[in-house]
Amino acid sequence: MTPGGRKLVVLGIASVIIALLTTSVSLALYHNSGDIYLDRSRPGYLPDEEEIEQDDDIKDEYTFNKSGSINGAVLDEYVEHLEQEIEAVEAYKNPFGADVLSDENLGI
């Protein structure tokens, strides 16, 4: 192996070691700072039991049958569920206004 080849191998090994060290340090900081628990986008994140709010008023969402016949009864059932959703949206005060995302409405 030529001296230039050895230097290239050493450079490659050194760069991999530096990458592993910096990644390990950043992951340790991420975990130790507690930010890992704020990242709700992680796959497999499960909230603590005290974070889960049980709401008995929540109904299962209606899903339109993707396969099957379409007849008047199916369409009437779909329209009935759609009207319930529309009523729920209309129950909000100014549902499409700019103040919907205000701190007060979000409970912040």
Q: What is the pLDDT of residues 7-42, one digit of tens each?
A: 999 999 999 999 999 999 999 998 888 777 776 666
- Could you tell me which residues come within 8 angstroms of residue 15 by beta carbon, excluding any fewer than 6 positions away? none
Q: What's residue 88's pLDDT?
A: 79
Q: What's residue 12's pLDDT?
A: 96
Which residue, 34, 33, 37, is CA-closest to 46? 37
- Better-predicted residue by pLDDT, 34 or 4: 4
Average pLDDT value for residue range 65-71: 80
Instruction: Give the integer Cα–Cα distance in Å for 86 and 104.
Output: 23
Indicate if the pLDDT at residue 87 is higher than 70.
yes
pLDDT band for position 44 (cuts 50, 70, 90) = low
Which residue, 72, 73, 108, 106, is CA-closest to 92? 106
Q: What is the pTM (predicted TM-score) of this model?
A: 0.37
- Could you tell me which residues come within 8 angstroms of residue 36 by beta carbon, excluding any fewer than 6 positions away? 30, 42
* For the ranges 39-43, 54-58, 83-87, the one whose mean pLDDT is highest: 83-87
Q: What's residue 56's pLDDT?
A: 55
